[in-house]
Structures are given as C-alpha cells and as structure tokens.
Amino acid sequence: MKRYIRNPLFLFYLLVMYVVAQFSWWLYLIASLYSQIYSDPVLLEKKTMMLVGEGTVFVIILFGGVFMIKRAYRKEHELTKLQENFLLSISHELKTPIASVQLYLQTLQKRDLDDQKRDQIYASGLTEIKRLESLVNNLLITRSIENRNYFLSKTKLELDKLVMDFIQSIQTSLLKNHTIKIETEPISIVADKEALISIISNLIQNAVKYSPANTEITVRVKKSGSNAVIEISDQGIGISDQNKDKVFLRFFRDENEMTRKSKGTGLGLFICKFLVQLHKGQISLKDNTPNGLTIQIALPLE
C-alpha cells in the first residue's frame, strides 16, 4: 500500500476521482434546485440541457487534461530511465580509456621494452585517447544542441577525400579488427568539415560496435540527383523495426546498459541526425543484406 501512496499517479488519480465525485454531487444539487424553482416543463428542460452541456464540457476538459498529464508523466519517466542508463554508460566510457592509458604509461615507466613493443603501446594509447576525445566531442556537441548555440562553418570540401582521409586515420586503430570496403566517386560539397567528420566518426563507430570482428564494413560516397550520399553498411546485429525511429532520440540504446555487450552513450545517432538536418539533409536506416544495417545520409550539394 505504501508503494501506491508514494506513486504520484496514484495520488493524481485519487484527486481526479474526488473532483468527479464532487462535480457529480454538484450537478445533482443544481438539478434538484432547478426542479424546485422552475415549474414550467419547457424552461426546466432548457435549464437541464444547459447543465448537461456544461457538465459534458467539464468532463471532456478534465479527462483530456488527465490524458495529457499521464502522457507527459510517461515521457518524463522514460527520459529519466534513459538518463540513468546514460550516467551508467558515461562513467564506464570515461573510466575505461583513462585506465587503459594509465596502464600503458605505467608499463612504459616500469619496463625496459624494445622499440616494436613500445610503438605498439604508443599506438594503443593514442587509440584510447582518440576514443576519449570522440566521447568528449559528443558531449560538447550535445550540450551545444541543448543550448541552441551550435552553428555551422561551411566551406567547399572534397567529400570523397575527406572520407578517405578519415578512414585512413583510423585504419590501424578503430578498424583494426574489421575489413573496410570503400566505394567513392569525386564529389564537391559545401558543408561544415568538423560536422561531417563527427557524422562519419559516429556512424563508423556504431558499425564497429554492433558488428562482429573480422566482418566487412562498406562505405559508399556517391551522387544521387542534387544530393551527395554517404552510405555505411555493416554485417552486425541490425536494429529492430520498432526501434528504427527511437535510435535517433537522445540517450536511447537498443539494449539495457546493465547487460549490454557493447559500449556507447546513446548520443551518436542523435548528434548525426541533428547535424544532417542542420545541413538540410536527410538520414535514414534500412536493413542490410543478408544481415546488419545500412545508414544513408543525403546532403544537398549546394
């Protein structure tokens, strides 16, 4: 019983029931008073119909308000759960690269290593730092989105070269356990360079997270009408149809943070959608064949 009393919705429904009961009693008293005051049946009927009309409007407004409040409460409750999952995730995401870099530095400090082993540790440390940098950038972009102070700085870019350079920079780190297939054609576009890098980075990270090691990730850059199209396909677990729209929500992930097998904060696709729409483009998801996911981005060439 205590659990129900502490539930805000229980108390709210109790209050609504009290209001309905009081209103019904008020209608009964008014109707009784009318029957005593008005002896003319026609006039009494008019007054009664007026009373019924006012009562109907009141009930419609009351239950409409109840429905809207319940929906708002449910959304707020879901957002709270997503935020709790996000806090669990972000603590893990921050601690892991920091602990890894600390271990690498301690290894370099305490052991006499040959050049090859030392270079491997340097590369691993840089990978973790890049991962931490990507996470911090996502948090900063999300904060800017919430404050509505994220602005684009557009310049003319060679999209195919931008994508190729970025993939090359992560070939031995993020993509070391995957095969990458690239299909590009020369495309010039007017866009924000940092925003595009953020989009490509988040999409490739998603492909890596949700696809098994040694599978292929395909990146396509092509023209389609008046748009430049970027497609990133993986051979991973994909996304269920009921969650294809939800994955663009802030903090949303397609699994519980307590039992998840993959790392992530639920901000990547939220940021991608915002940046794509800021470029007046479109982002869409579709199933890959035979398995996995394809994310397609269409950006206007001008």
Residue whose entry in the numeric block shows the structure tokens 């790392």: 263
- Within 13 Å, how many C-alpha atoms sit on residue 138's CB side? 28
Q: For 12-16, 38-42, 67-71, which range has the lowest pLDDT when averaged over its residues? A: 38-42
Helices assigned H by DSSP within the chain: 2-6, 8-37, 41-110, 115-147, 159-169, 193-209, 268-278
Contact call for residues 224 and 298 (beta carbons, < 8 A): yes
For helices 159-169 and 193-209, the axis angle rounded to 10 degrees is 50
What is the structure's pLDDT at 259? 37
Six token digits for residue 71: 């929906």
What is the DSSP pairing of strand 179-184 with strand 216-224? parallel
Question: Per-residue pLDDT tens for 116-151?
Answer: 888 888 888 887 888 888 888 888 888 888 888 888
pLDDT at 107: 86
How many C-beta atoms lie closer than 10 Å to residue 54's C-beta?
12
* Angle at which helices 41-110 and 8-37 cross, to 10°: 170
Segment 185-195 shows an average pLDDT of: 93
**Pairing mode, if any, of strands 188-192 and 282-287?**
unpaired
Residue 8 has pLDDT above 60, yes or no: yes
- Give the number of residues written for the chain: 302
Residues 170-177 have a mean pLDDT of 82
Report helix, strand or coil for 51: helix
Residue 299 CA to residue 301 CA, distance in Å, equals 6
CA–CA gap between residue 12 and residue 9 (Å, rounded): 5
**pLDDT per position as a tens digit, 66-88:** 888 888 888 887 777 777 776 76
Ranges of beta strands (E only) in 151-302 are: 154-158, 179-184, 188-192, 216-224, 227-233, 282-287, 293-300
- Indicate the average pLDDT of the chain: 83
Q: Evaluate if residue 57 carries a pLDDT over 70.
A: yes
